[in-house]
Amino acid sequence: MTLKDCLILTLLNVVGFYGLKYYNDSRQCRIVETLLPSVVKVSPIGHRWSEQLIMTPEGLGIEKVYKGFGVMGHGSGVFVNKDGMILTCNHVVAEGPIAQIETNDGKKALAYVVGRDVEQDLALLRPIKPLGRVVPVSMAKGVKRGLNVLTIGFPGPFDKYVTAGVVSGFQDERTFSDLAIAPGNSGGGVFTINGDIVGLAEAITGPFPIPTYQGFSILTSLEAIQGILEKYRGF
């Protein structure tokens, strides 16, 4: 092989590498844009309380103050069928059976809980009024260690944030990953790079600080999701 042939081959490899990288990056961005309409904000509604310090004859104490009936924080969820059924984590709606749903295009509606799997931290909601055309997620066929995944949700004050990582392993009917998630992400879909759902963002490992476990997050299992959807099919 001549020097010219070597230079041409090297150039083709470089062009191919960066071309493939650009294609994969662009494809992932397109997948995220496709998934955004499938992800919703879930805001539980119920009786709100706060705690305040008060002076008692014994010293400082804590008094609960009723703040009225309304929105209590928020989490995330995903559409799972064309009827607008929404899957989220049970702890997002644990305080009551009603939640406010906000779609990617800003539509809002109330939804009620039709089924729960408390042990697997899953809840299924149905909107009280139709939300128009919805885009349901598709289910992955399986989950393997090392699988590239991404999640979309509403961590804290942020709106529709995306983080990416890999499936790290499995333990006690839970899937672990290195996805960065925060309060508000709970119930958000975790997807393959093809856009298929493999679980829901559930929790950060803890309690903190435990350096060995920092950086790992817990996902609900794909099998549990399939189970609750089958159990409440037609509700």
Taking residues 103-125, what's their average pLDDT? 93
Most confident by average pLDDT, 63-72, 157-166, 202-211: 157-166
* Fold assignment, 37-127: Thrombin, subunit H (2.40.10)
Tokens 């493939």 sit at which residue?
20
How many percent of the chain have pLDDT more than 90?
47
Structure tokens at 2: 């001549």
Domains 37-127 and 138-231 share a fold: yes
Pick the residue with more confidence: 176 or 204?
Answer: 176
pLDDT exceeds cutoff 80 at 138: yes
Q: What distances in angstroms separate CA 7 from CA 3, 17, 19, one per listed residue? A: 6, 15, 18
User: What per-residue confidence (pLDDT) applies to 171?
Assistant: 84
Taking residues 42-48, what's their average pLDDT? 81
Tell me which of 67-71, 102-106, 129-133, 160-164 is least confident: 67-71
Most confident by average pLDDT, 37-51, 139-153, 172-186: 139-153
Question: Where are the domains positioned within the chain?
Answer: 37-127, 138-231
pLDDT exceeds cutoff 70 at 134: yes
List residues with catalytic annotation: 91, 121, 186
Q: Are 108 and 102 in contact (CB under 8 A)?
A: yes
pLDDT exceeds cutoff 60 at 15: no
Global pTM reads: 0.78
pLDDT exceeds cutoff 70 at 77: yes
Structure tokens at 187: 């119930």
User: What per-residue confidence (pLDDT) applies to 39?
Assistant: 94
Tell me which of 36-45, 60-69, 91-100, 205-214 is least confident: 205-214
Pick the residue with more confidence: 206 or 109?
Answer: 109
DSSP 17-68: HHHHHHHHHHHHHHHHHHHGGGEEEEEEEEEEEEEEEEEETTEEEEEEEEEE
pLDDT exceeds cutoff 60 at 213: no
Pick the residue with more confidence: 60 or 150?
Answer: 150
DSSP 97-137: SEEEEE-TTS-EEEEEEEEEETTTTEEEEEESS--SS----
Strand-pairing partners, residue 86, are 79, 125
CA–CA–CA angle 187, 171, 35 (5° rounding): 30
Q: How far apart are CA 112 and CA 58, in angstroms?
A: 44
Helix (H) or strand (E) holding 227: helix 222-231
138-231: CATH architecture = Beta Barrel (2.40)
Tell me which of 10-14, 84-88, 194-198 is least confident: 10-14
Q: Are 153 and 39 in contact (CB under 8 A)?
A: yes
Confidence tier at 19 by pLDDT (50, 70, 90):
very low
Pick the residue with more confidence: 59 or 200?
Answer: 200
